[in-house]
Every structure is written in C-alpha cells, then in structure tokens.
C-alpha cells in the first residue's frame, strides 16, 4: 500500500512539470484552466488505478460468533407463609346526654371496645388451623378486660371449616352485620333486643363456594340445661359485585331454672347493596315465633334499615330506621315494643380514627321515650405477623 502511494505521488509530481503553463503563465487563471486541470487529474487517477489494481480481499473463513446464551433469571422461591398472627384492638368511648324514662343523665359509655388475637397455621394447600380469642374492654366502668367475645379453635379443610368454642352465629354474620354500621353498643337497634351476637359452647361449620356461603351452628350446653342441643342456626348468603342477600333459620330452647318453657323460632332475611362507592343501603328483617308450653304463642319481628352516604373524603353521613315488635298486644303491660331512628355524622381525619356525633330516639308503645345525643371516638389498631 505504501509503494502505490509513492507511485501516485511521483506521477502527480511529474505531471505538474509537464503542464507548467498554468503555474508560470502570468495571465489570470480562468474557469477553463480549472476544468482542464480537473480533467488531467481524473485521467491520472484512471491511469494509476489501471497500473496498480487493489488486491482481492481474502475470503473470511471465520465462523460467526455465536451469541452468548441468555441465562434465565433464577427465581428464588419465596418461603410460603405458613403462620400468620393478627393482633388488634378497637377503643370506642362515648360521652353524651341521655334521657331515659324521663330522667336526664350525662355519662361516659362504651361502644363495644375490645381487643383480640387470631393465629392461623396453614400446613397444607387446603388445610389450616385457627385460634381466636377476643375480649371486651370495659371503658364504661373500670376500663378492665371484661367478658370474652370469641374463644375458639377451628380447622379449615377441603370440605369446609369446623370450629368449636364461642363464635359468631350465622344469624349475626348474615343478618345483623350488614346493618350494624353505627357507633353504638345497641346497634342494630331492633335486632339487638333479643337476637344473637356471640354464642358460647358452639360447634360451627362453614362452606364457601364462589359467591355462595353456607354456615350452620349448634350450641351444646348440657351442664346448664341438660339438653343435647340448646340452639340451632343455619343460613346461606350470596355475595357478589356489592350485593349481599341472605336467609337464615334459628331455633333455640327456652329454659327457666333448667325447666324447659318452650322454644323460639326465627326466619330472617337481609339485603345490602353498594349503589355507588359513596352510597350504601341495607335491610334486615326477622320473623320470630315465641312458642311456650303453658301460655299462648305469640309472633314478633325486627326490622332494621341502615344507610350510609360519603359526603366528602373525610365526612360520612349515616342514618337508620328500626322497629321492634315483641308480639304482645299494645295494651299488655309486658309489651316492650318500640320504633325509632338515628342520625350519625362521622369525621375520618385518618383511616384508623373516627369521630362521630349521633342522635338516637326510641318511641315505646307502653313506656316513655328514649333520647340520646352523644359524641365519641373510635380508634382501630391491627398488625399482622407472617412467618
């Protein structure tokens, strides 16, 4: 390559001497002179190329380099969560003015404060064990731990969940829970009077199948009432796309000093729906038959309606209407039937905290009315540990 360059330089040098006219002529250089020089240079390049052809490049016999195989990312298997422990508490003190039976009082009360722990151990894809204990906190009095609310162990299997101990019955889970949205110890106000919240000495069975849930419970308390089954309660619910619909049946024996007086039978139904992300409505109805051995039977009922509307991000308005009928005639002195309504305004400055203002009134058939105006706090705490 260096020899070819030297030859081209020599050729150009000799040519420059062969055409001195442009360099030594005193006349001005014209465009014709420039074009003539360009033609000479092109001719010289052609002659040089003809005399010194470029050697052919040797064929590239190298094999193409294979791309490095991309190693798949090694997935580190996550350790399955086999143990979970939930620790929680909710404190719900209230202060208000209460007018009951014509007497006014101001009192600090409690809207069912409680604390609990729930442990779950999943030892197979379809098997798990549960332990659950929950106790009330008696803010209304001394502030100490009060009676138990839940105390049971359950086994989750491929064919359903089985539990033994103090638990929620189907009657509350399917009927009352959806109207129980207020910050008050007696909510739902009609359901509360004679219906179930927690039941001790309970055997429970639950089966979930898509939107359908079936729950059956039975109470066995032979030591107190010398009976094989003191209570039976079963129900089925449908829950999907913000809609809840359920029906339940309850039968429980009634005793007085271990002497069986008869039984209560309840058919109940509930409906609840989230119309929008701001508006919620729910209805719960119970038809109750009081069957007695030595006195006439009677029929009663409970009706609870609950509504909630989110005014803003931090404020929610709730309202309820309720009617309790104990089955006695209006002129019977034993009649304790009532109806009424309540209105609640909630402020939620942060998710764990609610501040509420509530007005509640009850109108009794054979007694003086009940009115209360209260303000209260509700602070919820929960933490979970997985291992």
Indicate whether 318 belongs to any domain: yes
CA angle 167, 172, 177 (to 5 degrees): 120
- Specify the higher pLDDT residue, 147 or 205: 205
pLDDT at 11: 46
The confidence band for 230, taking pLDDT boundaries of 50, 70 and 90, is: confident
Indicate whether 173 belongs to any domain: yes
Q: Which residues of 220-245 are buried (b: 16+ CB within 10 A; e: fewer)?
A: ebeeebeeeebbbbbbbbebeeeebb
Interval 310-323 mean pLDDT: 98
Per-residue model confidence as pLDDT tens digits over 169-184: 999 999 999 999 999 9
- 73 burial class (0-12, 13-18, 19+ CB within 10 angstroms)? exposed
| Secondary structure (3-state) at 204 | strand
Indicate whether 49 belongs to any domain: no
Q: Residue 327: CA atoms inside 13 Å, Cβ hemisphere, count? A: 16
What pTM does this model have? 0.77
Cβ-contact 240, 211 below 8 angstroms: yes
Rounded to whole angstroms, the Cα distance separating 328 from 337 reads: 8
Indicate whether 374 belongs to any domain: yes
309: CB partners within 8 A, 6+ apart? 278, 279, 280, 316, 317, 318
Closest to 195 (Cα-Cα) out of 318, 324, 67, 98: 324
Tell me which residue has tokens 């009617």.
323
Angle at which helices 2-18 and 31-51 cross, to 10°: 140
Cβ-contact 376, 94 below 8 angstroms: yes
Does residue 102 come out as left (phi exceeding 0), alpha (psi in the -120 to 50 range) or beta? left
Is the predicted pLDDT of residue 159 greater than 60, yes or no? yes
Q: Which residues of 347-373 are buried (b: 16+ CB within 10 A; e: fewer)?
A: ebeeeeebebebebbbebbeeeebbbe
Indicate whether 77 belongs to any domain: no
Per-residue model confidence as pLDDT tens digits over 356-371: 999 999 999 998 999 9
Indicate whether 30 belongs to any domain: no
Indicate whether 160 belongs to any domain: no
Is the predicted pLDDT of residue 304 greater than 60, yes or no? yes
Domain with 347, as residue range(s), is 166-201+208-378
- 323 burial class (0-12, 13-18, 19+ CB within 10 angstroms)? middle
Indicate whether 333 belongs to any domain: yes
What CATH number is associated with residue 314?
A: 2.40.160.10
Mean pLDDT score of the chain: 86
Give the chain's domain count.
1
Interval 103-125 mean pLDDT: 95
């Amino acid at each position: 390559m260096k020899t070819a360059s030297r030859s081209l330089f020599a050729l150009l040098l000799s040519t420059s001497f062969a055409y001195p006219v442009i360099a030594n002529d005193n006349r001005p250089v014209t465009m014709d002179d420039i074009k003539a020089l360009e033609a000479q240079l092109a001719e010289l390049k052609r002659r040089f190329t003809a005399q010194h052809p470029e050697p052919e490049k040797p064929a590239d016999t190298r094999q193409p380099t294979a791309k490095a195989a991309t190693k798949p990312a090694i997935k580190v298997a996550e350790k399955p969560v086999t143990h979970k422990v939930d620790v929680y508490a909710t404190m719900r003190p209230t202060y208000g003015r209460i007018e009951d039976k014509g007497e006014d009082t101001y009192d600090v009360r409690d809207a069912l404060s409680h604390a609990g722990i729930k442990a779950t151990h999943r030892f197979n894809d379809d098997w798990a064990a549960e332990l659950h204990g929950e106790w009330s906190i008696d803010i209304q009095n001394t502030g100490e731990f009060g009676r138990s609310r839940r105390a049971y162990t359950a086994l989750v299997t491929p064919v359903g969940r089985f539990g033994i101990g103090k638990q929620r019955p189907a009657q509350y889970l399917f009927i009352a829970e959806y109207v129980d949205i207020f910050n008050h110890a007696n909510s739902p106000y009609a359901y509360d009077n004679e219906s179930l919240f927690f039941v001790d000495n309970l055997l429970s069975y639950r089966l979930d199948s898509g939107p359908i849930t079936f729950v059956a419970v039975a109470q066995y308390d032979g030591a107190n009432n010398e009976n094989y089954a003191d209570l039976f309660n079963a129900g089925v619910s449908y829950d999907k796309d913000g809609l809840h619909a359920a029906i339940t049946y309850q039968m429980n024996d009634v005793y007085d000093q271990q002497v069986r007086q008869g039984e209560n039978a309840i058919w109940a139904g509930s409906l609840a729906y989230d119309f929008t992300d701001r508006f919620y409505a729910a209805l719960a109805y119970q038809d109750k038959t009081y069957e007695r051995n030595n006195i006439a039977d009677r029929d009663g009922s409970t009706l609870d309606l609950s509504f909630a509307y989110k005014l803003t991000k931090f404020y929610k308005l709730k309202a309820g209407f309720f009617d309790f009928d104990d089955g006695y005639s209006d002129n019977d002195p034993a009649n304790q039937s009532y109806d009424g309504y309540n209105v609640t305004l909630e402020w939620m400055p942060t998710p764990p905290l609610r501040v509420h203002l509530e007005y509640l009134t009850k109108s009794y058939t054979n007694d003086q009315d009940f009115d209360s105006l209260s303000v209260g706090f509700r602070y919820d705490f929960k933490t979970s540990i997985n291992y």
